[in-house]
Amino acid sequence: MRFSLGKYLLPTYVALTFLFLAIPIAYTFAFSFNDSIKSNIIWRGFTFDNWLDVCNQQEVCDAFANSVIVAVTATFISTVLGTMIAIALVRYRFKFRSATNLLLFLPLATPEVVMGAGLAAQFLDFGWPKGMGTVIIAHTMFTLSFVVVTVKARVATLDPALEEAGRDLYANPLQVFWKITFPLLLPGILAAAMLAFALSFDDFIITQFNSGAVDTFPKFVYTAAARGIPAEANVIGSFVFIVAIAIVLVVQIRSSIKQRKLAK
């Protein structure tokens, strides 16, 4: 049997890539069970205490709570504004429409350090003290473009005839939106919201420029990395990863079940 390099090269590359990506995750999960005292760099023994009392180090839970508050608030604001902007850009013709499209794409191509520094300078010019409010505003500005792009793609696929049918049945514009347009847009809106939440919760660079004394989870982890990230932080990181995997599995299973029902 002749050996084929191409037959094994791609599977080997994929396996090594997944292994490379899995090592930090496995390390985080394993050291969440480490019986550490001050430093969490050296393995000292297995324990469940870190999972049972994750707020043993209160600053870890405080930073996590701040990240959740910022991410939820910024996601809600950017999703509402982004959905309205996406509908306006696809359905309506107005002055400076092309310029608006260009300006919305700029944050996607702008390095985070530039955006973070620019927003920090803007807050300084306005005389606004850095804190939770400035972080939420910065994250809203950062995630807005991602929401618009995601929802805009969904709006472009909608068939206007469905809304016209609703108007033919004497539904007013508000009823057409809530009964027809919004349900059809909902998958795209939810996808945009999940993307915005993930980007906001995970962000460090923009947060570092605009947070002042407020600690978010990524900022806390970065600061603590020099002396060894506390095991409680590894617990929270592992928990977030497990929840994300669970959400993906549920969505995939539901999608598979729906496709099987439609195929029958």
Average pLDDT, the chain: 86
Q: Write the DSSP symbol of residue 55.
A: G
The number of folded domains in the chain is 1
Let me know if residue 250 belongs to a domain.
no
| 254 part of a folded domain | no
In a domain? residue 51: yes
262 in any annotated domain = no
**Phi, psi (rounded to 5 degrees) for 46:** -90, 135
CATH code of the domain in which 79 resides = 1.10.3720.10
- Residues constituting the chain: 264
DSSP code string of 172-234: -HHHHIIIIIHHHHHHHHHHHHHHHHHHHHH--HHHHHH-TTPPPHHHHHHHHTTT---HHHH
Domain that holds residue 51: 6-244
pLDDT digits (tens, 9 = 90+) for 47-91: 888 888 888 778 888 999 999 999 999 999 999 999 999 998 888
pLDDT digits (tens, 9 = 90+) for 192-250: 999 999 999 989 999 999 988 888 999 888 887 766 778 888 888 888 888 888 988 88
Query: Has residue 4 got a pLDDT over 70?
Result: no
Per-residue pLDDT of 10-59, as tens digits, reads 788 888 898 898 888 888 888 888 887 767 777 888 888 888 888 877 88
| CA nearest to 84, candidates 151, 179, 19, 160 | 151
- Whether 252 is covered by a domain: the verdict is no
What string of DSSP letters covers 92-158?
A: ---TTHHHHHHHHHHHHHS-HHHHHHHHHHHHHHHTPPPSHHHHHHHHHHHHHHHHHHHHHHHHHTS
Q: Please report whether residue 264 resides in a domain.
A: no
**256, part of any domain:** no
pTM of the model: 0.83
Examine residue 32 and state whether it is found in any structural domain, yes or no.
Answer: yes
- pLDDT surpasses 50 at 1: no
